[in-house]
Structure 1
Amino acid sequence: MHNLNVRSARPDEIDRIMALEDCGFHKNIQESKSVMLERMRHFPAGFLVLANDADDAIGYLCSELWESSEALDVSAFALGHDIKDTHHADGKSLYISSMTVSPEYRGSGLGKRFFQQSIAMLRTRLPHLRGSILLLSAEWSGAYKIYQDSSYTEVTRLKDFFAAIAAHDADAIVMQTSFTDDIHNPATQLGKK
């Protein structure tokens, strides 16, 4: 398996990122352009894109650093939260606030490879990280599998968090992982089967 073209996002491609946001998430949980630009400006190392051969973004991953994932403040997961209120440059917990790939690439394994390569890249850039946390809808079984295959485990559920978009299960699942030098961690074993 070869490395994907994963790089830092550029402000001049915000419209493409917003198009990915539009086709990746229900309109009731989409972030605004201003929120995404602020996240890109405030923590550029944590806003990555997956680019195709023409260097066009076909996926993105947005993250921030939290001091800890021990005492969860549910408001930190809120749509449109201000990264300046939650991000700490020396934070040891990587919060994945959003990730998607273009619909034509879904189901091919590309999302999983992009996620794992992005996590590996961020761990290299930020060696002080001790773990990662993320939140997803209980209805997103494909995303759940990607995260589970990347050593994330479910730690709690937030009742009715996704009530605005749910068809049958409105809970949010909070998943996390600890970073170690363990050779069995998929994020450190890219390209190996």
Structure 2
Amino acid sequence: MNNLKIRNVLPEELDCITEIEATCFPAAEAAPKNVFKERFSVFPEGFFVAELNNEIIGFINGGVTNENHIQDEFFETMSLHIPNGDNIAIFGLDVHPKYQKRGYAKQLMKHFIESAKKSDRKNVLLTCKNHLIEYYKQFGYINEGVSESIHGGAEWYDMYLELK
């Protein structure tokens, strides 16, 4: 039986994380290794990997803010991160394509939400493309419509999950 283990990322795993990101997102949207390195150094407690049979197959990561929407700058730098902020923003939820549609992303999301609750956050924020709105609604996220985000030149939708 395959056992999925969700745990915090380790610094030596950032190359693998970067490869998965490049597989899951177009180049204009994918975060490079230096961005993951900064996210890890600033907020490692918000960076989780999914490990299956000793192989990293996916991850979820984010940062904390008092804003109600994710600023595009946040995808590139952690300078907007506020450690004691009210809201936690998800920067990416990635599962390698050969492991998709097996519930692993769902497990990562549930783990992230539970971690946010334990950290006493008020909301979880994310942006997604139109075809993923229904997916995120299953967790209780509310769609706020088209985002002001122009990250990667794509059209994004702002969503939030109220925790309190």
TM-score, length-scaled by structure 2: 0.89
Decide whether the 8 Å contact of 1:65 with 1:92 is kept in 2.
yes
Structure 1 counterpart of 2:139, one-letter code: S
Provide closer, same or farther for how the CA distance between residues 80 and 115 of structure 1 changes in structure 2, counting only shifts above 3 A: closer
Tell me if the contact between 2:50 and 2:104 (Cα under 8 Å) persists in the aligned partners. no
Q: Is the 8 A contact 1:14 1:37 kept in 2?
A: yes
Larger C-alpha radius of gyration, 1 or 2? Answer: 1
State the partner residue of 1:149.
138
1:81 pairs with 2:76: yes
Number of aligned positions between the proteins: 163
The answer to whether the 8 A contact 1:31-1:79 is kept is: no
Question: 1:1-193 counterparts in 2 under 5 A?
Answer: 4-54=4-54, 56-69=55-68, 72=69, 76-78=71-73, 80-83=75-78, 85-124=79-118, 126=119, 128-138=120-130, 141=131, 143-158=132-147, 161=150, 164=153, 170-180=154-164
Give distance in 1, aligned partners of 2:82 and 2:149. Answer: 28
After TM superposition, what 4+ stretches of structure 1 lie above 3 angstroms from structure 2?
A: none
Q: Tell me, which stretches of 5 or more residues in structure 2 are unaligned?
A: none
User: Could you tell me the percent identity over the aligned residues?
Assistant: 21
Structure 1 or 2: more strand by fraction: 2
- Judge conservation of contact 2:4–2:53 (CA < 8 Å) in 1: no
Contact 1:137 1:162 in 2 (8 A): no
Structure 1 unaligned blocks of 5 or more: 165-169, 181-193
Match of 2:102, SS state, is coil
| Alpha-carbon contact 1:77-1:135 (below 8 Å) kept | no
Question: Does structure 1 conserve the Cα–Cα contact (< 8 Å) formed by 2:75 and 2:91?
Answer: no
The CA distance in 1 between the partners of 2:121 and 2:74, in whole Å, is 24
Per the TM alignment, residue 92 of structure 1 is displaced from its structure 2 partner at its CA by 1.0
State the Cα RMSD in Å.
Answer: 2.2
Q: Which residue identity is paired with 1:9?
A: V
Counterpart contact for 2:121–2:163, Cα < 8 Å: yes
Q: Deviations over 1:125-173 (max 9, x none)?
A: x1x21111101122xx2x3333111100111313683674xxxxx4210
